Amino acid sequence: MTPDSSLLLRWYDRHRRTLPWRAAPGQQADPYHVWLSEIMLQQTVVQTVIPYYERFLERFPTVDALAEAPQEDVLQLWAGLGYYARARNLHACAQAVHKLGAFPRTIEGLQKLPGIGAYTSRAVAAIAFNIPTVPVDGNVERITARLNAVEDPLPASRPLLAQLASHLNDDPAAQARPSDFAQALFDLGASLCSPRSPSCLTCPWRDCCLANARNMAESLPARQKKKARPTRHAILFRVMDSAGNVLLRSRPPEGLLGGTDELPGTPWSDGKSTPSPDELAKTAFTHYAPLQAHWDKCGEVKHIFSHFTLLIRVYGCTLPEKSNYPIDLIHGRFRPLKEAILSSVMKKCLLVGRKHKPAAD
Ligand code: SF4
């Protein structure tokens, strides 16, 4: 059964969230604002995204300004949001749109742009161009699984949920307001139909929701049990010069935290394909330290990535004034922090402990 869209839209008109990228009621959204926010919101919660979005818009008020900026500036402003391939794709996409002269106004055209897949193309098409389509993100998957009481676990049930979700906007009320309907679904998923404690009593769709009727909303969508997250280990070196600059090297542009700056040190050992933590400790100071020095232990950092936990031991030293101790460029070069592109995990490594600590920029 297709739920009655007019009930959802009426609820949305009263309870819609005010978000910086959202157009006011009755106004058409700016495709640049919608696209920028959608890229930032991938894997990241709204409250984290808002300050980044505002800083980006202040620095790059148009897609052309973003396209013309050096990539380092984009990465630097992005630093801390994680998933750095998104930032590089964001920049490449802005350049493609700049060349085209405007965002394409079709789902197919949008999908040809870097970093824009099935979900983002539909979100931009619906919200900015009023094209009747249902963007299926985690919120919409959850709502669909509950409305239809789909008990098959994710991720295997994803194609079924996408197919069911594509009919959510079948009725004329949804077809008449594609932009509001897509945003109403997001707001329903972010508020009433929340992952842990859905508020079915006040939901506009409670009468047609099978999960509500069967009292099983909280247990849906079911998920396949995740494998335990493995732990990796690393030893990193925080080397300061007498002017307060830090020795930093760049990570390769592709891959995890690609293009961000890091403290030099050992690889991130998983104890299988790479040395065990004990072996690491034996070789870190002879093979991976940027110089022979008296190293002070600064502290330990734990950072959780989506697929593993990283435990880092940070050691530090400060070089005396006028030191010209040779440090190989593979370990990086001394730079002021304000010029660095720092991921959240590296920020933690720079802040841990009291010794050999760079001043905040
Ligand atoms: S009734 Fe409950 S489970 Fe069903 S859509 Fe509404 S909030 Fe979600």
What tokens were used for 241? 């010069």
Instruction: Say yes or no: CB of residue 204 within 6 Å of ligand 1.
Output: no
Whether the pLDDT of residue 147 is over 70: the answer is yes
pLDDT band at 361 (very low <50, low <70, confident <90, very high): low
Whether the pLDDT of residue 220 is over 80: the answer is yes
Q: What is the DSSP letter of 286?
A: I
Model confidence over 57-78: pLDDT tens digits?
A: 999 999 999 999 999 999 999 9
The rounded Cα 287 to chain-centroid distance in angstroms is 34
pLDDT band at 307 (very low <50, low <70, confident <90, very high): confident
Instruction: Say yes or no: CB of residue 316 within 6 Å of ligand 1.
Output: no
Residue nearest to atom 3 of ligand 1 (CA): 217
- SS3 for 98? helix
Model confidence over 9-55: pLDDT tens digits?
A: 999 999 999 999 999 998 999 999 999 999 999 988 999 999 999 99
Model confidence over 154-179: pLDDT tens digits?
A: 999 999 999 999 999 999 999 999 99
Model confidence over 90-134: pLDDT tens digits?
A: 999 999 999 999 999 999 999 999 999 999 999 999 999 999 999
Model confidence over 321-351: pLDDT tens digits?
A: 877 778 899 999 999 998 899 999 999 999 9
Provide the pLDDT for residue 360: 63
Q: How far apart are CA 282 and CA 266, in angstroms?
A: 11
Q: Hey, which of 193, 202, 208 would you mutate to test ligand 1's pocket, going by the most ligand atoms within 8 Å of its Cβ?
A: 193
Provide the pLDDT for residue 273: 60
* Catalytic residue of the set 38, 58, 218, 321: 38
Q: How far apart are CA 203 and CA 15, in angstroms?
A: 11
**The domain at 5-219 falls in which architecture?**
Orthogonal Bundle (1.10)
Whether the pLDDT of residue 275 is over 80: the answer is no
Ligand 1: centre distance to CA 228 (Å): 30
List the Cα angle 115/119/124 in 5-degree steps: 80
Instruction: Say yes or no: CB of residue 205 within 6 Å of ligand 1.
Output: yes
Backbone angles phi, psi at 95, to 5 degrees: -65, -35
Q: What is the DSSP letter of 309?
A: E
Q: Provide the mean pLDDT of the chain.
A: 93
What tokens were used for 187? 């707001």
Amino acid at 257: L
Residue nearest to atom 2 of ligand 1 (CA): 200
Q: Is there a catalytic annotation at residue 108?
A: no
The helix-helix angle for 46-59 and 71-78 (nearest 10°) equals 150
Ligand 1: centre distance to CA 199 (Å): 7
pLDDT band at 313 (very low <50, low <70, confident <90, very high): very high
Question: Whole-model pTM?
Answer: 0.80
Q: What percent of the chain has pLDDT over 70?
A: 97
**The domain at 231-351 falls in which architecture?**
Alpha-Beta Complex (3.90)
Q: What is the DSSP letter of 352?
A: S
Ligand 1: centre distance to CA 179 (Å): 21
Instruction: Say yes or no: CB of residue 192 within 6 Å of ligand 1.
Output: yes
What are the residue ranges spanned by the domains of the chain? 5-219, 231-351
Could you tell me which residues come within 8 angstroms of residue 99 by beta carbon, excluding any fewer than 6 positions away?
A: none
Tell how strand 333-335 and strand 246-250 pair up.
antiparallel
The helix-helix angle for 178-190 and 5-15 (nearest 10°) equals 70
Of the candidates 111, 166, 104, the one whose C-alpha atom is nearest the C-alpha of residue 135 is 166
Q: How far apart are CA 249 and CA 244, in angstroms?
A: 16
